[in-house]
Amino acid sequence: MFKKILLLTLTCSALMACQSKQIAQLSSEKPQVEEKSFNPEQWQLTWQDEFNGPDSELEKRWDVQNSPSGHILSSRWRENVKIEDGVLYLMNRKEKRGGQDWTSGSIRTKEQFGYGYYEARYKYAASNGTNNSFWLMTYPLNQTIKKGKKFEIDINEGHYPNEVNTNIHNWSDITKKPDGRNTHPSDSRTMSFGAKAEYNFPLEIPVTTKKIRFISKDLNYIHLRTFNAYGAGGAASGTNYSLDPNVKIDISGKRNQKVNPKNVLDNNPNSSWTSQLEGDKWLTLAWPTEKTIAEIEFANGWRYKERSWAGLTQNFKVQYFKNNQWYDIATLDVENEVNFAEEYHTWGLEWNEQEIVFYFDGKEIRREKNEFSHSLSPIWLSLAIIKWDGPVTDKIDGTSMKVDYVRYFKRKPN
């Protein structure tokens, strides 16, 4: 994850140890979950699909979408769904069909389920611009609900390479915004494994330079909230050279009133410099005279709801300039270290009358009170092409969400 160029607060080996234990690095300053695990001894497996049968028998247990999709960029068809060698493939193709430029796959169980524990093991499609989903939703939405509300629980809407989104939607209480669009109550959390909102890099050997910079090759926007460079004593007692009145800021892309680069110097975590979308993104601080830097810290991302940070940078370098050359201080490349398209992971949901609990690889990552999700629901597995997860490019063509199994458990009687 991080390459140790100088002395960093977290070493690569320590971070990899965390990953090997499958501990979620949440996209916020402190983890907001307890360290609890799913206990299989409390549950009885009552339904499963290991996808070991022939592709021709898929429709015995699953309904397949065969239609355009108005809310996403891809229509979804049976030809984009395949079972082969014990794996379910939901496939993306660049082809015009159903009035859309892309096709994907989506299925739901014929059977409806209630309270219990749900688990799926799958890999993401290997591209930005895709939505890899394991979810529950009352179906059909126009039915009369006897208890609670029409709901949707997204056990995971996964975005390549490392983002997990858990969502709870209330589809009964739809209202219109002033612009005429429909809206509904929802509660979402975003987690980027391997990335975080705040970084701090004390340097074992301070560097003397006139320029430092943050640079990234991310496909998404960069939301840089602060970027501080401290002298001797570091953040605890050193001079913050980022606040020097003579510092000059240079950025990639066009300047924009709404994304003023000076926002990184106001020490306000709620404002940020937001990069252009295309190409390399960088922000440079330059001084007329050399400064000796002992520590660098920065914050990134944007606040989503109250308890979650989204838009975290997946790829960056912090560098200093010396002898007409840029040198690395610290780097991060999540795609090469935490890539959910390369390895299988499990996503789980414990759903009962009182609570909704989300799991990643058997570890609890979120717990909420169940306020309205009480009706039966089918299980859904869906791949979609979306515009809110980076640019939609030809890299998507031929990628697939690969599902190893789906299982449903009921709690054993006490």
d(CA 391, CA 218): 11
The pair of three-digit structure tokens given for residue 279, joined into one six-digit string: 């190409």
Would you say 209 and 326 are in contact if contact means Cβ atoms under 8 Å apart? no
The answer on 226 and 365 residing in a single domain is no
d(CA 1, CA 20): 13
Q: What is this structure's pTM?
A: 0.78
Number of domains in the chain: 2
Domain finish residue from 336, 362, 388: 336
Task: Give the residue carrying structure tokens 């096709």.
Answer: 103
Q: Residue 47 falls within a domain, yes or no?
A: yes
Within 8 A by CB and 6+ apart from 202, the residues are 7, 8, 9, 234, 294, 295
Within 8 A by CB and 6+ apart from 303, the residues are 270, 309, 310
Q: Residue 20 falls within a domain, yes or no?
A: no
- Structural domain range at position 83: 33-188+340-411
Q: Residue 240 falls within a domain, yes or no?
A: yes
Domain finish residue from 271, 306, 336: 336
CA 163 to chain centre: 2
The dihedral through the CA atoms of 10, 16, 17, 19 has a sign that is positive
As separate numbers, helices (DSSP H) first and strands (DSSP E) second, the chain gives: 2, 30
Residue-by-residue pLDDT tens, the chain, 414 positions: 443 333 333 323 223 233 332 223 333 333 344 457 888 899 999 999 999 999 999 999 999 999 999 889 999 999 999 999 999 999 999 999 999 999 999 999 999 999 999 999 999 999 999 999 999 999 998 899 989 999 999 999 999 999 999 999 999 999 988 888 888 999 988 888 989 889 999 998 899 999 999 999 988 889 999 999 999 999 999 999 999 999 999 999 876 656 688 888 887 777 889 998 888 999 999 999 999 999 999 999 987 666 667 789 989 999 999 999 999 999 999 888 899 999 999 999 999 999 999 999 999 999 999 999 999 999 999 999 998 887 899 999 999 999 999 999 999 987
Within 8 A by CB and 6+ apart from 210, the residues are 286, 287, 288, 289, 290, 291, 321
Domain finish residue from 316, 336, 356: 336
112: CATH: 2.60.120.200
